Chains A and B, each alone.
Chain A
Amino acid sequence: RKEVEQDPGPFNVPEGATVAFNCTYSNSASQSFFWYRQDCRKEPKLLMSVYSSGNEDGRFTAQLNRASQYISLLIRDSKLSDSATYLCVVAWGQNFVFGPGTRLSVLP
């Protein structure tokens, strides 16, 4: 089993749609959780941290379920500029472990 798994994608959605990404992780000792965004031929950039109580940043909502070892990201009212690959990241020890990413294309 891979350490971090994500929906395979790609997701093609119309502008204004709501889209949800799922992620599961295998290491129950994981200490922190993040969503990163990577545009084509660019570096990954932190989108948001994920807290146990769930957190929201504008149109983005992240949820964490430690018991199920599951993380989610919800994007509401999607924009063309949201098109990117979304990477689930789990940290333990000295390491940040990246999921394979889910590609999102928002269509006009």
Chain B
Amino acid sequence: DTAVSQTPKYLVTQMGNDKSIKCEQNLGHDTMYWYKQDSKKFLKIMFSYNNKELIINETVPNRFSPKSPDKAHLNLHINSLELGDSAVYFCASSPQDRFAWGAFFGQGTRLTVV
């Protein structure tokens, strides 16, 4: 009965490969996010989707492409992986009244590019 679930939890891959991370939430939330936490532990937003529509697209290389097939899913596809992409990627979701309830996070995907 996990609220926000991401797969895989760990991902080790070589430079130049293409990989995807999947995220699903069963909370009925309208908004989903991808955050990146780098080696300095700083959490930075990458994308935000509201009801399958892209709302926020921060300065992220276009090798990163989010896909939202429905409002319960927000997947992240990464092309041509680089060493600097190594980080923990967190998916999150928030209800319509997000200012009251905040955002709920998945357990994270630890990506290591070698």
Contacts and interface: CB of A to CB of B under 8 A. Distances in A.
Interface of A: 31-32, 34, 36, 42-46, 49, 85, 87, 89, 91, 93-98, 100-101
A96 B55 CA distance: 13
A95 B106 CA distance: 17
Contacts of A100: 40-42
Interface residues of B, number: 27
Interface of B: 31, 33, 35, 40-45, 48, 50, 55-56, 90, 92, 94, 98-108
Contact of A95 (B40, B42, B56): B56
B45 A96 contact: yes
Interface SS of A by simple majority:
strand
A94 B102 contact: no
Contact of B102 (A42, A46, A97): A46
A43 B90 contact: yes
Contacts of A91: 98-99, 102
Nearest to B106: A43
A85 B105 contact: no
A100 B42 CA distance: 5
A46 B3 CA distance: 14
B43 A98 contact: yes
Given A96-B94, A98-B42, A101-B41, A34 B50 contact: no
Contacts of A94: 31, 48, 50, 55-56
A101 B103 CA distance: 17
Contact of A49 (B35, B100, B105): B100
A31 to B, nearest CB: 5
Contacts of A44: 43, 90, 105
Contacts of B101: 46, 49
Contacts of A32: 98-100, 102
9 contacts: A32-B100, A36-B102, A42-B108, A45-B105, A46-B102, A89-B102, A96-B45, A98-B43, A101-B41
